[in-house]
Amino acid sequence: MPFDQLFKELLHAFFREFVELFYPDIGARLDFNRVTFLDKELFTDLPEGSQREPDVVAQVYTLEGEPELILLHVEVQSKREREFSYRMFEYYALLWLRYKIPIFPVVLYLTPGAGGLTEEQYTTRLFERDILTFQYAVIGLPDLSADEYLNSDNPLGTGLSAMMQPSKLGKFAQKYRTLLQLTASPIDSSRKSLLAFLVETNLHLSKLDEEEFNLLRSQADGKEANTMVDIEELFREHYKSIYEARGVEQGIEQGIEQGIQQGLVQGERRVLLKQMSQKFGELPDLITTKVDAINSEVELDLLANRILIAKTLEELEL
């Protein structure tokens, strides 16, 4: 499953938890028993009918019964678009023209550089005057501290901590604590599997960290050992539900295995790109394309080892 599609599924499954985690003041005034996800396709008035599609548009109601919209867009591109603020304004304007009810716009960045929980704006000027200023909320996941969310009572916070700045505990201990928290959570197995997949995809351990993780798990007492999640089983449950929902009766096991493998490889590619950008700065499109085309775990592991000693992108021999 493509990572952006996984994240959209996650936001639908954990919509209440998402609002309460990042905007508790807003969550406290909403009736989450009346949430409807609306058609996302919005069309401009241009002759060619250019399509605009935000990721999640939820109609919500306040506790007093007033209707509102929450516009949530997930931005996964490694390069920040110069015109992105205008695109957010366009989403907002098209929704306003269609529904004419209050709208709370949010963008969720999955690449670093946004600055955590903040705001951005789009401004139009004429005759040296600000004619319009549009502000929207920003959540930059990679810029938040995992330690602030790792032990959250909110299971989404625990799961998303895997995409934040690494814990001071170290990666193997962070993964252990994260999975322990999730398996102890009272949420159902389907939603738990989504979060477990997110953790495994983003908290990819080196061979040394993996050994430390397994050692930590083996030394756990009986209660913790019984609680510790079996990642592969959660993957299997998640993909099995997807295939069964599509009415596929044959090849389910093969599809599950392929899904697991693709998820792991995709997670390793994301980690590599993040490591490369942190060490070498903004990556050329050609480099990003080459990494995205790698489907071998062995080749990705070799590249990860080269990053440690390479002084330039050329030395990676991509």
41/74 same-domain check? yes
By DSSP bridging, strand 117-126 and strand 129-140 are: antiparallel
95/196 same-domain check? no
Instruction: Return d(Cα 196, Cα 179) in angstroms, integer.
Output: 7
The confidence score (pLDDT) of residue 302 equals 74
The torsion angles phi and psi of 83, rounded to 5 degrees, stand at -100, 15
231/216 same-domain check? yes
Using the 3D structure, point to which of 119, 143, 167 is the last residue of a domain. Answer: 143
> 219: domain range?
146-316
End-to-end CA distance of the chain: 26
132/183 same-domain check? no
150/60 same-domain check? no
187/200 same-domain check? yes
**Are the beta carbons of 292 and 284 closer than 8 angstroms?**
no
119-146 confidence digits (pLDDT tens): 999 999 999 899 999 999 999 999 999 9
286/189 same-domain check? yes
The confidence score (pLDDT) of residue 28 equals 95
The confidence score (pLDDT) of residue 73 equals 84
**Are the beta carbons of 72 and 40 closer than 8 angstroms?**
no
Structural domain count, the chain? 2
Which parts of 211-266 are beta strand (E)?
A: none
207-231 confidence digits (pLDDT tens): 887 777 777 777 665 455 445 545 5
By DSSP bridging, strand 103-109 and strand 117-126 are: unpaired
Using the 3D structure, point to which of 91, 114, 143 is the last residue of a domain. Answer: 143
Q: Write b or e for each residue in 66-77: b if 16 or more Cβ atoms lie within 10 A of its Cβ, otherwise e.
A: eebbbbbbbbee
Q: Which residues of the chain have pLDDT under 50?
A: 1, 43-50, 222, 225-226, 229, 232, 243, 246-253, 256, 260
151/139 same-domain check? no
Which of 194, 109, 204 lies closest to 155 in space, CA to CA? Answer: 194
105/181 same-domain check? no
CB count within 10 Å of CB 311 equals 8
Instruction: Identify the H or E element spanning 91.
Output: helix 84-99
Which of 284, 285, 183, 188 lies closest to 224 in space, CA to CA? Answer: 183
CB count within 10 Å of CB 171 equals 20
**Are the beta carbons of 263 and 197 closer than 8 angstroms?**
yes
Would you give the DSSP letter of residue 145? B
The gap from C-alpha 88 to its chain's centroid, in whole angstroms, comes to 18
Instruction: Identify the H or E element spanning 193.
Output: helix 189-202
187/272 same-domain check? yes
